[in-house]
Structure 1
Amino acid sequence: MFTRDKVRLDADIYRPEQPGEFPVLLMRQPYGKTIASTVVYAHPTWYAQQGYIVVIQDVRGRGSSQGEFNLFSAEIADGEDSINWAANLQGSSGNVGMYGFSYQGMTQIYAASTRPTALKTICPAMIGFDLYADWAYEGGAFCLQANLGWAIQLAAETARIKGDKTVYQALYKASRNLPFIDQIPAYPEILNQFAPDSFYHDWIEHNQADSYWKNQSPNLDNVDLPMLHIGGWFDTYLRGTLNFYQERVNQSQHPQHLIIGPWAHLPWGRKVGVIDYGIEANNPIDELQIRWFDYFLKGIDTGILEESPIAL
Structure 2
Amino acid sequence: MPTVSPPVTVSMRTRDGVRLDADVYRPEGQGPFPVLLMRQPYGRKIASTVVYAHPGWYAAHGYIVVIQDVRGAGTSEGRFRLFEHERADGADALAWAATLEGGNGRIGMYGFSYQAATQLLALAGALDSGGPKPAALCPAMMGWDVFSDWAYEGGAFCLYGGMSWALQMGAERARLAGDAAAYTEMLAAAKNLPLYEEHTAWPAVLQRHGRYTHYGDWIGSPTPGGYWDRIAPKAALAGRTGDVPMLHVGGWYDKMLEGTLGAWQAMAASRAAQRLIVGPWGHIPWGRRTGIVDFGPQASSPIDSEQVRWFDRYLKDRDNGVGHEPSVRLFDVGAKTWTDFAAWPEPRPQAWHLSSSGLAAARSEDGVLDRALPAATSLDTLVHDPWRPVPSLGGHDGMPPGPQDRGALDGRTDVACYTSAPLSAPLRLAGRVLAEVHVDVDAASHDLCAVLSQVTPDGRCLTLTQGYLRIADATSPGPRSVAMRALCATIPTGAALRLSLQAASFPAFAVNPGTGLGVAKVRLFDCRVITLGVHGGGTRASRLLLPVEEG
Q: TM-score, normalised by structure 2?
A: 0.56
Instruction: Find the aligned partners of 2:71 and 2:274 in 1 and give their Cα distance.
Output: 30
Equivalent in the alignment of 1:26? 37
Alpha-carbon offset, residue 130 of structure 1: 0.6
Alpha-carbon offset, residue 57 of structure 1: 0.4
Q: How does 1:269-284 map to 2 (within 5 A)?
A: 269-284=287-302
Alpha-carbon offset, residue 272 of structure 1: 1.0
Gapped regions of structure 1 (runs ≥ 5): none
Equivalent in the alignment of 2:85? 74
Equivalent in the alignment of 2:51? 40
Greater fraction strand: 2
**How big is each residue's C-alpha offset from its partner over 1:126-181, in whole Å with a ceiling of 9 and x where there is no partner?**
00101111111101001111111111100000111111111110011111111101
Contact conserved, 2:171 with 2:212, CA < 8 A, in 1?
no
Equivalent in the alignment of 2:153? 138
Gapped regions of structure 2 (runs ≥ 5): 1-11, 331-551
Instruction: Find the aligned partners of 2:318 and 2:265 in 1 and give their Cα distance.
Output: 27
**Does 2:280 match 1:262?**
yes
Alpha-carbon offset, residue 184 of structure 1: 1.5
Contact conserved, 1:87 with 1:93, CA < 8 A, in 2?
yes
Greater fraction helix: 1
**Does 2:304 match 1:286?**
yes
Contact conserved, 1:229 with 1:256, CA < 8 A, in 2?
yes
Sequence identity percentage = 53
Partner SS for 1:41: coil
Equivalent in the alignment of 2:69? 58
Equivalent in the alignment of 2:227? 212
1:301 to 296, 319, 334: 319
Partner SS for 1:45: helix
Contact conserved, 1:263 with 1:272, CA < 8 A, in 2?
yes
Equivalent in the alignment of 2:213? 198
Alpha-carbon offset, residue 194 of structure 1: 1.6
2:260 to 217, 241, 247: 241
Q: Where does structure 1 differ by over 3 angstroms across 4 or more consecutive aligned residues? A: none
Contact conserved, 2:22 with 2:66, CA < 8 A, in 1?
yes
Equivalent pairs, count: 311
Q: TM-score, normalised by structure 1?
A: 0.97
Contact conserved, 1:129 with 1:217, CA < 8 A, in 2?
yes
Instruction: Find the aligned partners of 2:27 and 2:62 in 1 and give their Cα distance.
Output: 6
Contact conserved, 1:87 with 1:118, CA < 8 A, in 2?
no
Instruction: Find the aligned partners of 2:212 and 2:57 in 1 and give their Cα distance.
Output: 39
Asked which structure has the greater CA Rg, the reply is: 2
Partner SS for 1:269: coil
Alignment RMSD, CA only?
1.1
Contact conserved, 2:82 with 2:231, CA < 8 A, in 1?
no
**How big is each residue's C-alpha offset from its partner over 1:229-274, in whole Å with a ceiling of 9 and x where there is no partner?**
000011010011011111111x211111000000110111101133
Instruction: Find the aligned partners of 1:259 and 1:241 in 2 and give their Cα distance.
Output: 10
Contact conserved, 1:94 with 1:118, CA < 8 A, in 2?
no
Alpha-carbon offset, residue 282 of structure 1: 0.7
Alpha-carbon offset, residue 117 of structure 1: 2.5
Alpha-carbon offset, residue 64 of structure 1: 0.8
Equivalent in the alignment of 1:49? 60
**Does 2:179 match 1:160?**
no
Partner SS for 1:113: helix
Of 281-290 and 221-230, deviating more is 221-230
> Which letter maps to 1:270?
R
**How big is each residue's C-alpha offset from its partner over 1:194-253, in whole Å with a ceiling of 9 and x where there is no partner?**
22452111111111113222232222223221110000011010011011111111x211
